[in-house]
Amino acid sequence: MPFDYKKVLIIGATSGIGQALAAKVVENGTPVIVTGRRKENLDAFAKKYGSDKVRTKVFDITQLDQIPNFASEIIADNPDLDCILVNSGIQRPFDFSKPETVDMDMFDTELITNYSSAVRLAKAFIPHLQTQQDHPTLLGFTTSQLALVPMMRCPNYGATKAALHHFILALRTQLESGPGNIKVLELYPPAVQTELHDTKHQPDLKDGHLIGMPLDEFTEEAWAGLCEGKDQIPVGSAKEAFANFEAKRQEAYQHMTRMLSQLIKKHLR
């Protein structure tokens, strides 16, 4: 099936996966709104693809109290918006065997960036997507292979992505019984060659941007999954973790959800 949406908002599109997916959307002939903190990157993207196809908005998703206003402005300017991809994320190493080296302010910033902001963005945009009864809409999130299998080097990153993964599972189930027709998407990248691992972010790494799957290869595989209409897209090495145990764990989640739903019904007044 084609990627059949009227207009797409990509949050966290100034570089890496978000920017690569934005390029695919534009090349598909779909108008896109790209957001992020770095105005110069957004402007360069709009210049490359044309202001008739690309709109930009500078926004820092860590400013949690500004998210409702951000969503209201986006919706007011783009009432035909029917696809939202939340891609923002940062990764930092923390070694709790050396607690004096752990920067708890950065720890909290990573939690806000990778998890809390995504939840608040979902809350802010879901009412708009629910009003569109005539066709399916999409609310997508980029998590990580590390949402399924943690990495010792970056314990907070894996924990934030795991939290978002669990939230997505529950959100998908909740929205199935609500108004509208919202598909909830989860994209599971492996390590990908982006600035996520750059020395400026993780100083102990040399040539960190060369770690992982080439961005072009990742983007092609992720885009194919989007066009096939999948709601869960593990890419590269993430497919192995997903196939080996995540599918079975989700069966357990569905079983528990049915059991608890029946139990709660008995106790509702």
Residue 256 in any domain: the answer is no
Residue 175 CA to residue 170 CA, distance in Å, equals 9
What is the reported pLDDT for 210?
58
The total of other beta-carbon atoms located within 10 Å of residue 230's CB is 15
Residue 32 CA to residue 138 CA, distance in Å, equals 14
What is the reported pLDDT for 267?
76
Residue 261 in any domain: the answer is no
Residue 26 in any domain: the answer is yes
- The total of structural domains in the chain comes to 1
Residue 2 in any domain: the answer is no
Residue 171 CA to residue 179 CA, distance in Å, equals 13
What is the reported pLDDT for 202?
61
Residue 110 in any domain: the answer is yes
CATH code, domain carrying 192: 3.40.50.720
Residue 43 in any domain: the answer is yes
Distance set, CA 45 to CA 49, 169, 258 (Å): 6, 33, 46
What is the block-wise mean pLDDT of the chain (269 residues), using blocks of 10 residues?
89 94 96 96 95 95 98 97 96 96 97 98 98 91 96 96 98 93 96 71 62 90 96 95 91 92 78
What is the reported pLDDT for 178?
86
Domain extent, residue 158, equals 8-238
Residue 96 in any domain: the answer is yes
Q: What is the pTM of this model?
A: 0.92
Place of tokens 């999409």: 138
Residue 247 CA to residue 228 CA, distance in Å, equals 19
What is the reported pLDDT for 71?
98
Residue 149 in any domain: the answer is yes
Encoding tokens for residue 226? 């989007």
Q: Pseudo-torsion of CA 201, 204, 210, 212, nearest 10°?
A: -90
